[in-house]
Amino acid sequence: SVMREVTGINEMEQLLQRKLGINRVIIVAGDSDHSPWVKKELGLATANCMKSLLKGNNIIAVNGGTTMSSVAEALTPSIADGELLFVPARGGIGEDVKNQANTICSMMADHTASKHRVLYAPDEVSEEMYKSISTDPRISEVLKLIRSANLLVHGIGEALTMANRRNTSKSDLEKIKNAEAVGEAFGYYFNEDGEVVHKVQTIGLRLEDLSTVPNIIAVAGGASKSKAIRAYLKEAPTSTILITDEGAAKKLI
Ligand code: G3H
């Protein structure tokens, strides 16, 4: 639009695409750290982007968080062109119920008049439990759906903010701090070089599965998340679409 040209947002998007080495960046005006309505704009921009990608029937994997909750709020039945099925990308990672992927999935299904599945898995599982619950038929069916998702939509968090918000054990918190983690996405914590320094042991999508998901939208804004966004995108597939705000974008350029 004319507005976007006048404010230089289009130019900023292109610059950021080159800087981050990904194919597409979408920037909304403002900084969600300071203005709550900017998170709503991130939600709307993500809903529009999803609509442009969704042709026919789709399985959509999503993660949790407050940004994803804004995305859920912004969805309407008009985004679908066929049947949609929402699945949580991963099992519980210590979030409060309202921020959990299962909750976001059910909100998204409600708002789009479509279906969703629940992943009944405990937060943080032991190696043994991991093996046994993965073979439970109700769980393995959802895991199969997750791995066949054609769209993944997820948030990115600032590492310590996320670790403190979640049920993180003292020893894991120390580990995350000592490793100088700056970013987090679906339970993986990254340092500034984009290396995984900690992962929450739960079932669901693994980082190595991302390369087989045809469409990925990462949505995260606010100047406080700039380091997290940069770190995560070092490892993310170049096909990832980043939806962010001016606050984060200015710090990333
Ligand atoms: O994994 C990333 C976090 O879920 C982001 O949470 O959107 O509340 O900042 P947030």
Predicted confidence at residue 4, as pLDDT, reads: 75
Q: How far is the CA of 203 from the centre of ligand 1 (A)?
A: 18
Q: How far is the CA of 64 from the centre of ligand 1 (A)?
A: 6
ipTM: 0.97
Predicted confidence at residue 93, as pLDDT, reads: 85
Residue pair 86/102 in contact (Cβ under 8 Å)? The answer is: no
Predicted confidence at residue 129, as pLDDT, reads: 86
User: In which band, very low, low, confident or very high, does the pLDDT at 70 lie, cut at 50, 70 and 90?
Assistant: very high
Is the pLDDT confidence value at 5 over 80?
Answer: no
Q: How far is the CA of 196 from the centre of ligand 1 (A)?
A: 17
Query: Is the CB–ligand 1 distance for residue 43 below 6 Å?
Result: no
Residue pair 246/27 in contact (Cβ under 8 Å)? The answer is: yes
Predicted confidence at residue 134, as pLDDT, reads: 86
Burial 5-15 (b: 16+ CB within 10 A, else e): eeeebeebbee
**What letter would DSSP give residue 225?**
G
Residue pair 121/92 in contact (Cβ under 8 Å)? The answer is: yes
Residue bearing the CA closest to ligand 1, atom 9: 157
Residue 173: name the closest of 194, 193, 189 by CA.
Answer: 189
> What size, in residues, is the chain?
253
Predicted confidence at residue 33, as pLDDT, reads: 98
Is the pLDDT confidence value at 200 over 80?
Answer: yes
Predicted confidence at residue 158, as pLDDT, reads: 98
68 φ/ψ angles, rounded to the nearest 5 degrees: -65, -30
Query: Is the CB–ligand 1 distance for residue 64 below 6 Å?
Result: yes
Average pLDDT in the 185-207 region?
Answer: 95
Query: Is the CB–ligand 1 distance for residue 45 below 6 Å?
Result: no
Q: Which amino acid would we find at residue 64? A: G
Euclidean distance between CA atoms 212 and 235, whole angstroms: 14
Task: Record the tokens describing residue 210, joined without a space.
Answer: 């991302």
* 180: helix, strand or coil: coil
Task: Record the tokens describing residue 105, joined without a space.
Answer: 């999935």
The pTM of this model reads: 0.96
Q: How far is the CA of 159 from the centre of ligand 1 (A)?
A: 10
pLDDT digit string (tens) for 83-135? 999 999 998 888 899 999 999 999 999 999 999 999 988 888 888 888 888 88
pLDDT digit string (tens) for 135-170? 899 899 999 999 999 999 999 999 999 999 998 999
Predicted confidence at residue 78, as pLDDT, reads: 95
Query: Is the CB–ligand 1 distance for residue 106 below 6 Å?
Result: no
Residue showing tokens 């998170």? 39
User: In which band, very low, low, confident or very high, does the pLDDT at 207 lie, cut at 50, 70 and 90?
Assistant: very high
Average pLDDT in the 233-242 region?
Answer: 96
Q: How far is the CA of 201 from the centre of ligand 1 (A)?
A: 18
* 226: helix, strand or coil: helix
